[in-house]
Amino acid sequence: MAASPAVPENRPPEELNRAVILLGPPGAGKGTQAKKLAAKYSVPHLSTGDMLREHVAQGTPLGVKAKPIMERGELVPDSLVLKIVAARIERPDCAHGFVFDGFPRTVAQAQYLGELLKQHGFRRPFVIHLVVDTALILRRITGRRTCKTGGEIYNLFERPPKVEGRCDNDGGELFQRPDDREEIVAPRLHAYHKQTEPLVAYYRRLGLLHEVDASKSVEEVEQQVCKTLHHARSKH
């Protein structure tokens, strides 16, 4: 096991050497909350979806294999996902911890991640389950728009931009991701219920699961996530 990194004087020890995992169905707000947590604790926000889309855009061998799978709304196989995850957490910016968004998605991935964290000297992860009903999920996913420039996320129903089709921050064009289209949502939710929901039971058995009601506003969910994380840290 790798030695734990030294603690810089300006970082509280509680914020180091730990992974935070956000679980929940598509549209639960994992990406939004992951970015907020990453900024709050000055650690990287790791989205396997973003990493895979980057590979697809760059036309890498991994991206070529993943593209048709993602376009069908199916989960990318472990053999592809695990390679990018293992390589990503070895980078220096992950030395003090990180926030996962969209990983793990299966129990097998969770078991692999557990071993990977041990190998790199990390303690057991904090796991936060964002709970939300299916009707709200559909509204959130189909209304979601993303800024092409800065990646800021909006929702036409819950958090619309001030100017239609443009990001409030940088004026970048807003677009709908292919896998956010209504015809893709159903298979994505089916894939989640079949392969990802068992993670809730898995992490509950390990005593690592903390549930948060994600049907509230972004700000309310953020407050509850931070409160839950603070409580979990104090217990450990």
Residue in 177, 204, 216, 233 annotated catalytic: 177
| Catalytic-residue membership of 11 | no
Give the pLDDT confidence score for residue 194 in this predicted structure.
Answer: 82
Q: Of 218, 153, 199, which is closest to residue 24 (Cα–Cα)? A: 199
CB atoms within 10 A of CB 31: 21
Both structure tokens of 151: 């990646």
Please report whether residue 69 resides in a domain.
yes
| Catalytic-residue membership of 105 | yes
| Catalytic-residue membership of 181 | no
As a whole number of Å, the CA-based R_g of the chain is 17
Give the pLDDT confidence score for residue 17 in this predicted structure.
Answer: 66
| Catalytic-residue membership of 188 | yes
Give the pLDDT confidence score for residue 156 in this predicted structure.
Answer: 92
Please report whether residue 99 resides in a domain.
yes
Residue in 18, 53, 105, 145 annotated catalytic: 105
| Catalytic-residue membership of 30 | yes
Residue type, 171: G
Q: Vertex 55, ends 70 and 144: CA angle to 5°?
A: 50
Q: Is the peptide bond preceding residue 12 cis, with omega within 30 degrees of 0? A: no
Please report whether residue 157 resides in a domain.
no
Full domain range(s) for residue 95: 24-134+179-228
Give the pLDDT confidence score for residue 10 in this predicted structure.
Answer: 43
| Residue ranges of E strands in the chain | 19-23, 45-47, 98-101, 126-131, 144-147, 153-155, 174-175, 209-213
Please report whether residue 192 resides in a domain.
yes
Residue in 18, 140, 144, 145 annotated catalytic: 144
Please report whether residue 85 resides in a domain.
yes
Please report whether residue 15 resides in a domain.
no
Q: Of 177, 168, 169, which is closest to residue 145 (Cα–Cα)? A: 177
Residue in 30, 36, 53, 140 annotated catalytic: 30
Please report whether residue 72 resides in a domain.
yes
Count the domains in the chain.
1
Tally of residues, the chain:
236
Please report whether residue 110 resides in a domain.
yes
Residue type, 148: K
- Please report, for the domain that includes residue 59, its CATH number: 3.40.50.300
Mean pLDDT in order along the chain per 10 residues (236 residues): 39 61 89 91 89 87 88 84 86 92 89 93 92 86 92 90 95 92 82 84 94 92 90 72
